[in-house]
Structure 1
Amino acid sequence: MSLADRMQKVIRQDVQSMHAYAIQPSAGLVKLDAMENPFRLPPELQRELGERLGRVAINRYPTQCVADVLAALNAYVKLPAGCKLMLGNGSDELISLLAMACDVPGATILAPLPGFVMYEMSARLQGLKFVGVPLTADFELDEAAMLAAIEQHRPAITYIAYPNNPTANLFDDAVIERIVAAVGKQNGLVVFDEAYQPFSSKTWMQRMAAHEHVLVMRTLSKFGLAGVRLGYMAGAAALIDEIDKVRPPYNISVLNAEATLFALEHADEFARRAAILRSERERLQKALAAMPGVKAFPSEANMILVRVPDSKRAFEGMKQRGVLIKHIAGLHPLLAHCLRLTVGTPEENTLMIDALKASL
């Protein structure tokens, strides 16, 4: 039997028909395509972290260090009373674990589109139905369509990215409240994905406590630790206890845990960098507003969605000029001729502005 025949026999048909998560080659380019925090640690903190990681007992399974991370995060996020945290290897793992935990017969996962691709991918990999509800033309929640979909499909999980990826905006609070109430009546869960919280003016972390069916999920990737792979999810203690049962017992490495503890002890340094990126976001918005034919959408994240006359030409032109961004026009009809720009360092942002101007 050939390998192709063997794969045809043993690999799921739906997996064979899927596309893998795409990561663009970025060597030699100014990398502004993945919403990474562009700042590395200053040399003195690099040395301190290196020495600290060198002392970690990598011969032991991670136990106490994970408890220490949970305690540190409890304090950092000011976790409401009656709530609890669980950890994931990035928020991607938490999304997969949620799909696994909620895989009851006939279960559905619902999310607005365009949105983070892993909501749909995790549903399909777990054999769950996924329902995507298109946003309005200005990337707001379509309240009537969302409420109708909730009524019809009774989703086990409804995702609300807050702010949304790739559109970077916060949805209307009054609409969200009505969606949260509707999902509650159907006995489903609402998950607020706050991956971009360091750059956002609002959060559901405290509001969550008033809704036992609401979870808040975050990652430390945008905080500045994308390479560490540490995500966390908060919710009512009894609910988190149930979901945590499907988590692999040692999913967070001792090195990830120690790097996280180190970063939280230096949270003021990371907050300073987030402030710079928020300031740079405003500078980019002003520069984009002055470009003929370019429409930049409001942002509460470390990215800006822009629509240009010819997105393929602009993307290729910027790449030829050494700046890599994300061409997302093909992800959804609402994103026609759209590019997603990551907010970088002041120097990177100047290069990005100049490259975009020259590529229109």
Structure 2
Amino acid sequence: MMSTAAALSRIRPDVRAMHAYAVQDAAGMVKLDAMENPHGLPPELRAALGERLGALALNRYPGECVNDLKRALAAHADLPAGWGLMLGNGSDELISLLAMACNVPGAAVLAPVPGFVMYAVSAQLQGLKFVGVDLTPDFELDEAAMLAAIAAHRPAITYLAYPNNPTANLWDEGAMARIIDAVGRQGGLAVLDEAYQPFASRSWIDAIRRDPARHGHVLLMRTLSKFGLAGVRIGYLMGPQTLVNELDKLRPPYNVSVLNCECALFALGYQEVFVAQAADICRQRAIVLAALGAWPRVKVWPSEANMVLVRVPDAAKAFAGMRARGVLVKNVSTMHPLLANCLRLTVGTPDENAQMLAALAASL
């Protein structure tokens, strides 16, 4: 009989050396650690959604509803002419599929760091080299370093999060354009991750529409998580139809459940509700930024997302103090040297933000 130790030896050593993605226990806490929309569905919509979901044929695999959702998302995003759209079980699955599609000997994935951790994780799991290029101390793109890394490594995929996580900023448009052009010249894919688009003042999709020929190698990812449906797990990728057709071959059949699909279709039928929620979050973000900007012991950066990055004298102490006071945020101080003593604060409701600010003040 094979022992557990022997069976473990069959698992790749790099996988065994990894840490699982940690989700913090938020029971009984003001949960401001995961950039979720703090607003739930209005009561009347909850009842309507429950009735709609109750009528579904759960004994059947997802069918035409998936195509209905793709059409609805294409209309919601105003899909550029000649582009296609594919669905993912959240953006995480799309990132994994991209790495799988580009997994050829010697291929690399490149991204600015600090950034979304799943770019590097997906590359590692597929055996791709990951190249991280440090941002500047103010979390702007280091254009010269990015261009040099693209020339040196010729990455199959270059990720540009717009806005970035956890720094919450939109990068300089000129630098973005020159980096995207450089990726195209060496035959790579430029993947623009617009997860936080509902809270940003601009989107790269406008540049794509103005000059589609310049963006034939560009893919644009978005998600309904920040729209207000984090629990529904719907990500979508848009790009030139020929590229999307190839990537869609890797998508598992029925990767989006009929429940998730119908929830998303329902929400897209009430877009005005979620637009109003995003506007409220942006108003609350301004209040939080103004409050933190007046504190002498805290450095705060501008935000174009539903999160705020702050640097405090001692991030571990502040995080523990806030948690002890019932407020859960994200301590990102160990993710990258540029994030030393930084906390990432999700923007919540007025009451949640007041509790967060009070807990942070008491924990400094």
- By the TM > 0.5 criterion, same fold? yes
- 2:111 aligns to what? 111
- 2:234 aligns to what? 230
- Deviation for aligned residue 1:2: 2.9
**What is the identity, as a one-letter code, of the residue corresponding to 1:328?**
V
- 1:349 aligns to what? 353
**What is the identity, as a one-letter code, of the residue corresponding to 1:352?**
M
- Of residues 287, 310, 315 in structure 2, which corresponds to 1:283? 287
Tell me whether 1:4 sits opposite 2:5 in the alignment: yes
- Deviation for aligned residue 1:22: 1.1
- 2:159 aligns to what? 159
Give, in whole Å, the separation in 2 of the partners of 1:259 and 1:83: 25
Tell me whether 1:191 sits opposite 2:195 in the alignment: no
CA offsets, 1:296-334, max 9 Å, x none? Answer: 101000000000111111111111111000001000000
- 1:69 aligns to what? 69
Q: 2:163 is paired with a residue of what secondary structure?
A: coil
Give, in whole Å, the separation in 1 of the partners of 2:96 and 2:43: 36
Q: 2:249 is paired with a residue of what secondary structure?
A: helix
- Deviation for aligned residue 1:106: 1.0
**What is the identity, as a one-letter code, of the residue corresponding to 1:108?**
A
Give, in whole Å, the separation in 1 of the partners of 2:298 and 2:6: 50
Give, in whole Å, the separation in 2 of the partners of 1:300 and 1:352: 19
- Of residues 217, 228, 233 in structure 1, which corresponds to 2:221? 217
Q: Which contiguous aligned blocks of 4+ residues in structure 1 show a shift greater than 3 angstroms?
A: none
- 1:138 aligns to what? 138
- 1:312 aligns to what? 316
Aligned partners of 1:208 and 1:235 also within 8 Å: no
Give, in whole Å, the separation in 1 of the partners of 2:114 and 2:341: 14
Taking structure 2 as the reference length, the TM-score comes to 0.98
Task: Could you tell me which runs of 5 or more consecutive residues in structure 2 were left unpaired when the two chains were aligned.
Answer: none
- Deviation for aligned residue 1:249: 1.4
Give, in whole Å, the separation in 2 of the partners of 1:354 and 1:4: 49
Matches within 5 A, 1:1-360: 1-7=2-8, 9-209=9-209, 210=212, 211-360=215-364
**What is the identity, as a one-letter code, of the residue corresponding to 1:125?**
L
Task: Could you tell me which runs of 5 or more consecutive residues in structure 1 were left unpaired when the two chains were aligned.
Answer: none
- Deviation for aligned residue 1:208: 2.8
Aligned partners of 1:79 and 1:206 also within 8 Å: no
**What is the identity, as a one-letter code, of the residue corresponding to 1:322?**
G
- Deviation for aligned residue 1:5: 3.1
Give, in whole Å, the separation in 2 of the partners of 1:340 and 1:4: 39
Q: Percent identity?
A: 65
CA offsets, 1:227-258, max 9 Å, x none? Answer: 00000000000110011110011101001110
Give, in whole Å, the separation in 2 of the partners of 1:207 and 1:43: 39
**What is the identity, as a one-letter code, of the residue corresponding to 2:84?**
K
Q: 1:111 is paired with a residue of what secondary structure?
A: strand
- Deviation for aligned residue 1:206: 3.4
Give, in whole Å, the separation in 2 of the partners of 1:336 and 1:203: 29
CA offsets, 1:174-219, max 9 Å, x none? Answer: 0011100100000000000000000001111232352110010011
Give, in whole Å, the separation in 2 of the partners of 1:60 and 1:207: 41
**What is the identity, as a one-letter code, of the residue corresponding to 1:124?**
Q
Q: 1:10 is paired with a residue of what secondary structure?
A: coil
Taking structure 1 as the reference length, the TM-score comes to 0.99
**What is the identity, as a one-letter code, of the residue corresponding to 1:29?**
M
Give, in whole Å, the separation in 2 of the partners of 1:291 and 1:317: 17
| Aligned residue-pair number | 359
- Give the aligned CA root-mean-square deviation in angstroms: 0.8
Give, in whole Å, the separation in 2 of the partners of 1:130 and 1:335: 20
Q: 2:195 is paired with a residue of what secondary structure?
A: coil
